[in-house]
Structure formats: structure tokens, C-alpha cells
Amino acid sequence: MYDIFRSSFSEDYRVVDKGLTALDIKGDAYGVSELMSEFGGCSFDRALYRVMAPGSISEWNQVIEYAFPNFDGRVQCFGYDWLGRIFALDSGRLEGGHSGVVMFEPGTGEALEIPCNIVTFHNEELMEFREAALAVSFHIQWLAQGAAPSYEDCIGYRVPLFLGGKDIVENLEVSDLDVYWTLIGQIIRKTKELPLGSLVANIVLTDEGEGG
């Protein structure tokens, strides 16, 4: 099912699923069990992309649904990239007859629909649009001056883009993925409905995207 993905991504390592929890699939099961069985807990290409360990999925569903309440009850997380962007299935949208993929961006505070299901995401999207999906060039820039993150870490923005941070390597740092999303999720939730010019943790939101 994932032959193309397997042939195009180099596995770094696989972590042991400490949760030892049976996979709890919400809604459409197409491709999920197969992905977890073969790649659950794997990191690829110096942490460019990672598949979640099955025991962590339920927790990540809750984290994402808290930050993006419009997706409450619809999310099935399955992977994340080096920037800590979470990839999940959305049971509220179909692509090719199965749940569509959505990318949750901690840097921009946005949820971006990707026009594919879990199988076409791995076998087509990550082949044809790897740059857009995984920010490959930015990853190379980071690796030129920093190490690849561990499985539990990501390279997060010091100041999120939606709070005026710049999309440059100098605005990146190694962060614990769980801590990063806990903090960012709270900010996303609290700032979603704020008007421009609102003061948030000493950073002013402006339509020019510059912090103050």
C-alpha cells in the first residue's frame, strides 16, 4: 500500500511505542492500520517527516482539537514534520472516497486542507510536492547550522509567524514537541477571534505582520 513512499524516504530509526496501546481508529480506517503497522514511530530523512507511534495518537487528537475546536471529533492524527506541523485525517471531508488530510500549522496558526487521503498523501503528495508539504529547503538551511531534532522534538518558531515572527532560520529553535504545541495551542485558541492590534504577551498583532 505504501510502496512508493517506502522507496523514496530513508528511515532514520524507529522508536518503541511506550504506550503499548491498541490503535483506536476514529471513523475511516482506510490505510491507517497499514501505516502504523509498517511505519509507526519511524523518523525519515533526518527527522524531515515522522509517523506517530500508535500509543500517542489519542493524546495528539486531543491537543489538536483543543487548538482547533472546529475540528472537534473529526481528527485522526498520524504524522508530523520537522517544524512540528501535525498531519491528520479529517472525517468531515472526503478525498478519493476517504477522509482527507489536513495539516495543522503551529507557526501560522492555520489548518490547511491537503487534497488527498492518507495513502495518496504518502505515495503522491510527498513525492510530487515534497517541498510544499515538508519545507525541504528550509530544513536544509536549518541542518547547515543545527542538528536534526530528536523524535520527541521539533524545530519551532521563537516567535510564531501569526504573532509577527519572521520565517527565517534565526527565528527557529529546538523545542519539545509536546510543550511547543501545548503553549502554541493555547495562544491559537485565545487569539483566533482577536481583532488586529490586540496585545498578546507583549506582541501586537498588525496587518503588516510585524511584532511590537
Of 1-5, 25-29, 56-60, 81-85, minimum mean pLDDT range: 25-29
- Which residue type does 155 have? I
Q: Please tell me the distance from the alpha carbon of residue 26 to that of residue 90, in angstroms, as a whole number.
A: 10
| Confidence class for position 203, pLDDT limits 50, 70, 90 | very low
pLDDT at 194 over 80: no
Longest dimension (CA), the chain: 49
> Where are the domains positioned within the chain?
3-134
- According to the 3-state scheme, what is the secondary structure of 83-108? CCCEEEEEEEEEECCEEEEEEEECCC
Looking at the DSSP assignment, which residues form a beta bridge with residue 81? Answer: 49
Cα distances (angstroms) measured from residue 16 to each of 36, 53, 69, 166, 173:
12, 8, 31, 36, 26
Confidence (pTM): 0.88
* Backbone φ, ψ for residue 30 (5° rounding): -55, 115
Is the distance from CB of 154 to CB of 180 less than 8 angstroms? Answer: yes
Which position has the grid cell 472516497? 97
Residue 212 banded pLDDT, cuts 50, 70, 90: very low
Q: Are 95 and 78 within 8 A, CB to CB?
A: no
The torsion angle over the Cα atoms of residues 98, 182, 150 and 159, rounded to 10 degrees, is 110
Phi, psi dihedrals of residue 173, rounded to the nearest 5°: -155, 155
Look up residue 168 and give its DSSP letter.
S
3-class DSSP assignment, residue 64: helix
* pLDDT category of residue 184 using cuts at 50, 70 and 90: very high
Cβ atoms 87, 101 nearer than 8 A: yes
